[in-house]
Chain A
Amino acid sequence: MKNIIELKNITKNYGDFTALDHINLEIKEGEFVTLLGPSGCGKTTTLRIIGGFEDPSEGQVYFDGKQINETPANKRSVNTVFQKYALFTHLSVYDNIAFGPKLKKMESHLIEKKVKESLRIVNLEGFEKREISTLSGGQQQRIAIARALINEPKVLLLDEPLGALDLKLRQGMQRELSNMHQKLGITFIYVTHDQEEALSMSDTVVVMNRGKILQIGSPEDVYNEPKTPFVADFIGESNIIPGVMKKDLLVNFANHDFECVDKGFKPNEQIDVVVRPEDIHVTSPNTGMIQAKVTSVNFKGVHYEMTASCNNFEWLIQSTKFRDIDETIGISIIPDHIHIMKRESVNG
C-alpha cells in the first residue's frame, strides 16, 4: 500500500505556543487512522493542516507523493466533516449535498443521481427537500458526511464528528462509519479524544500529547504495549508503578520481584511498570504475590472495581469477585500482563 498522506517535520506555532512540534506521520491509502489525544494536543491542528485550513510553520505536507503546502483547501482532494456539522442553514438538504458537484458544474441530472446515492449511503433516503433546522443532531451529521462524500474525496477528514451526539447515537454512528469506510475503501482520518471510539474503529491509532506524537500503532498495540505512561494512562485505565529492572525477565516493584517478558534493559535500570486493572488476579492473601488492603469497592455491572492499598500504592483492580472494604487480599499478575516502559526524561 502506498502512502496517500505524508507529514514531514511539521511544526505549527501560534505566537509563543507550539501546537505541533516536528510531527512525522505516514498514512496509507484506504486506512482508517485515528488521531487520539486530550484537547489541545494538536490533533485538530494536524487535521486542519491536511485539510488546508492552516499553514504549517515548518515542514512539508505530501498528498499522493506531491507536496501540497501551497495548494488551497478548495483545490485539495480531501473533504472534511466538521464537529459542529457546519451545514449551510440557508439551503435545503439537497442543496447542501449538491454544493460541491454544483461548483464543479456537473450536469443537473447527474447531480440528482449522486445526491440520491449519497443520501442512501448515510441512510437518509428521501430527505432531499427537508430544511436543515428540522433535522436532529444525528441526521445533521449524516448530511454533513453525505455532503463530503459526494465529492468522492480520496481522503475524508473527520474532526470529532460524533462529539455532539449522545452515547447511544454515537455508538450507532461509529458502526455506520466503520461500515462506510469498508464499503467506500477511501482513507479516513479521524480526530477524537474518546479512546474507546479510537480503539473500536481504527486500523491505526496515533496517540498525541502536547504537540507530539507519542505512539503510532494498531489499537491492540497501543492498548497492550503502551510506550509511555501517558499512553498507558490515556488509553484505558492502568496502574503505573515505578520499578527497577533487576535483570532480563525480572522486575522489582511494590517490594516484590516479578517475572516478566521484557529484556534489553540495563541492570537495575529505573523503569515504569504498567498493569491493567483487569489483568490483576485477586487471590487469598497467602497465595498472592503481594498483599493489599481493600479501600473501596464499586459495582460496575460486569465486574467490581476496587482499590486496594499496599506500601502506599493504590492498586486499581477490576474483578468479578467481591471483596469487602478493609479485607486483606492477595494480588498476583502473570508475566505477560506486566508491561515495562522506559522512564521518560520529560514525563508526558
Chain B
Amino acid sequence: MGKKSYGSPYFVWMSIFIIVPMFLVLYYAFTIQTDQGMVFSLDNIKRIAEPLYIKVFVRSLVLALESTAICLLIAYPAAMILADKKFSKSTTFLVMIVLPMWMNFLLRTYSWLSLLENNGLINKLVISLGFERMQLMYNEGAVVLGMVYNFLPFMILPIYSVLVKIDNNVIEAARDLGCTSFGVFKKITVPLSLPGVLSGITMVFMPAISTFIISRLLSGGKVSLIGNVIEQQFLVLGDWGFGSALSLVLMVFILISMAFINKGSSGYEGGIL
C-alpha cells in the first residue's frame, strides 16, 4: 500500500461521475435509435451544421464574450480599489460582493425580472418621471446584464486575490527606477495580475456560454442560447442524441476558447490587455 492508494476514492468518484457520463455523452452523440436498436451515426453531428443551430452557437459566443469583456472592465478597477492598502473598507466591500452568492441563483435572476418588466420598478419610476415606457427585457441586452450581474464576482475575486499579493516593494522599486504611476500600472501591475485576469475570464466565460436559465428568464425565451437548445432537446423533445451532440460541440468550443486564452498568456507582455 503506497501513497497512491490515498487517491483511489477520488479516482472511483471521478470515474463514476465524470468519465462514465462523458462516455455516455459520446455514445449518445454518435448513435441513433433504429429498429435494430442503437447504431453508429453522424446524423446528430451533421444536424448542428443547420443554419438555425450555427446561429445559436454564434449568438451564444458573442453574448458570452460581451459579458466577459464587460465583467473585466468593471472588475479590474474594482479589484484595484479593493486591493489598495489605503482603502480601509475592503473587507466590507468584499463581503458585499460575495453576499449575493449566498442567495439562490434563480432567486437573484428572478429579482431582475421585477426590476426590468414592462410594469417593473424601473419602468414605474421612468413613467412617473414623465418618460416613455422602456423595453428593458426580452432582448439580448437583458441577457448580457443578467450574465454580468451573476458572474461579476467570479471576475473580481481572482483579480483581487492576485493584486493584493503584489508586493508593495515591487511597485516602489518600479517607481524608484523611474516609472510614473501609469508606467507602474502598465509595466508591473497588469503583467503581474494576468494570471488572475485569465482565471477570471475562464470562470466567467464558461458559465456564460453554457447558461440557459438567465436567457430563459430575462429574455422570456426570445433569445435562445446553446444552453436553451440543449435543455430543450433533453427535457422537452427527449432527443438525447442531438442534445449530446450539441453538448459535445459546446465542450470543444470551450476547449478551443481556453486554448486561445492560454496562448495569450504565454507571450503575455502584450497579450490580453
Q: What is A's interface to B at a CB cutoff of 8 Å?
A: 51-53, 72-75, 78-80, 82-84, 86-90, 99-100, 103-104, 144, 147-148, 151
Question: Is B191 touching A73 in the complex (CB atoms < 8 A)?
Answer: no
Q: What is B's interface to A at a CB cutoff of 8 Å?
A: 167, 169-170, 172-180, 183, 187-188, 191-192, 194, 268-269
Task: Provide 14 A-B residue pairs closer than 8 Å at the C-beta atoms, listed in order of the A residue.
Answer: A73-B175, A74-B178, A74-B179, A79-B176, A82-B169, A82-B173, A84-B169, A87-B170, A88-B170, A99-B187, A103-B177, A103-B183, A147-B177, A148-B176
Given A74-B179, A74-B180, A89-B192, A99-B169 contact (CB < 8 Å): no
Max chain B C-beta neighbours (<10 A), residue from A51, A79, A90: A90
Max chain A C-beta neighbours (<10 A), residue from B170, B178, B179, B180: B178
Q: Write the nearest CB–CB distance from A7 to chain B, whole angstroms.
A: 19
Q: Write the nearest CB–CB distance from B184 to chain A, whole angstroms.
A: 9
Question: Is B192 touching A151 in the complex (CB atoms < 8 A)?
Answer: no
What's the Cα separation between A104 and B178 when bound, in Å? 8
Question: Is B192 touching A99 in the complex (CB atoms < 8 A)?
Answer: no
Which residues from A are CB-within-8-Å of B173? 80, 82, 86-88, 144, 147
Which residues from A are CB-within-8-Å of B192? 88-90
What's the Cα separation between A284 and B150 when bound, in Å? 86
Question: Is A82 touching B172 in the complex (CB atoms < 8 A)?
Answer: yes
Question: Is B175 touching A84 in the complex (CB atoms < 8 A)?
Answer: no
Which residues from A are CB-within-8-Å of B169? 82-84, 86
Question: Is B177 touching A86 in the complex (CB atoms < 8 A)?
Answer: no
Closest chain B residue to A48 by CB distance? B172
Q: Write the nearest CB–CB distance from B86 to chain A, whole angstroms.
A: 13
Q: Write the nearest CB–CB distance from A52 to chain B, whole angstroms.
A: 8
Q: Write the nearest CB–CB distance from B85 to chain A, whole angstroms.
A: 13
What's the Cα separation between A75 and B179 when bound, in Å? 9
Question: Is B178 touching A100 in the complex (CB atoms < 8 A)?
Answer: yes
Q: Write the nearest CB–CB distance from A91 to chain B, whole angstroms.
A: 8
Question: Is B170 touching A79 in the complex (CB atoms < 8 A)?
Answer: no
Q: Write the nearest CB–CB distance from B154 to chain A, whole angstroms.
A: 24
What's the Cα separation between A52 and B177 when bound, in Å? 12
What's the Cα separation between A74 and B172 when bound, in Å? 9
What's the Cα separation between A75 and B181 when bound, in Å? 12
